[in-house]
Amino acid sequence: MSRYFALLPAAGVGARMAAGGPKQYLALAGRTMLWHAARAFEAAPAILRTYVVLAPDDDQWGRHDWQGLAKLAVLRCGGATRAETVLNGLRAIAGEVAGDDWVLVHDAARPCLSAELLERLLGGLADDPVGGILAAPVADTLKRADAGGRIEATVPRERLWGAQTPQMFRHGLLARALEHAGTGVTDEASAVEALGLAPRLVESDMSNLKVTWPRDLEVAEWLLGRRR
Ligand SMILES: Nc1ccn([C@@H]2O[C@H](COP(=O)(O)OP(=O)(O)OP(=O)(O)O)[C@@H](O)[C@H]2O)c(=O)n1
Ligand SMILES: C[C@](O)(CO)[C@H](O)COP(=O)(O)O
């Protein structure tokens, strides 16, 4: 029978947030952003454990309250890029997680993942031979800029999706894909794509936003408040 694990890369520095420290520890609706990101997996019975991958020199973890997260396990093996952090995490859990177990990789910077979207991902991929990701169809007209900030071209948006997380793959396949792809890929799916496979898209929406810029905090806070 398939087993399911969550893995949260949380070793980023939050350069674009420019908050004076890693953004995963910023307060949102009374908890840290990281707490909320991990909380989504707490409520899903299928998930056995939630691994959080911190930077080796993280000095903030111990300063916060992680109550309510019984499935949590902490790893201190984050790398210089998101891909490196995920691969280090996959290697660290290889003794506990089997090659054909599912791993759901979820950004610590996505604190608003709902139970509905998580269930949709788990249900949509249960029998999938490759795995896949939550993603939202692009709604805006897309422009490519030139170096001076003027429009160079309008890019057709048909069949374009914005990739989100969780990204769900079997441990063995994902580790192999990331080893093959190197540390530059910005998500797990692109590493799997580079092996010639086609991950499935499971439709999500903008409620599962990534908190990247300071202005995203207010939206995330509102979404979390609405859910309570
Ligand atoms: N070396 C890294 C870089 C990023 N991440 C994680 O990957 C997720 C998505 O990254 P992003 O939103 O880019 O976060 P930061 O890297 O912190 O932000 P920035 O790029 O603005 O510095 C976050 O949970 C972040 O902590 C990570 O674990 N290890
Ligand atoms: C994984 C991701 O959230 C999918 O949209 C995104 O690629 C992370 O990108 P970042 O540059 O690390 O923020």
Whose alpha carbon is nearest atom 9 of ligand 2? 186
Could you list the pLDDT tens digit for every one of the 228 residues in the chain? 889 999 999 999 999 999 999 999 999 999 999 999 999 999 999 999 999 999 999 999 999 999 999 999 999 999 999 999 999 999 999 999 999 999 999 999 999 999 999 999 999 999 999 999 999 999 999 999 999 999 999 999 999 999 999 999 999 999 999 999 988 899 999 999 999 999 999 999 999 999 999 999 999 999 999 876
Q: Which ligand 2 atom minimizes the distance to the CA of 16?
A: 13
Whose alpha carbon is nearest atom 18 of ligand 1? 14
CA dihedral 115, 171, 200, 112 (to 10 degrees): 30
Determine the Cα–Cα distance for residues 38 and 108; give it in Å rounded to an integer. 8
Q: Which two tokens stand for residue 62?
A: 């111990």
Residues contacting 226, CB < 8 A, separation 6+: none
Shortest-distance ligand to the CA of residue 34: 1
Q: Which two tokens stand for residue 94?
A: 């290889």
Q: Which two tokens stand for residue 8?
A: 């949260």
Return the SS3 of 47. Answer: strand
The residue extents of the domains of the chain are 4-227
Assigned CATH for 4-227: 3.90.550.10
Give the ipTM of the model, two decimals please.
Answer: 0.98
pTM of this prediction?
Answer: 0.97
Let me know if 90 is exposed, middle or buried by CB neighbors in 10 A (0-12, 13-18, 19+). Answer: buried
* Count of residues making up the chain: 228
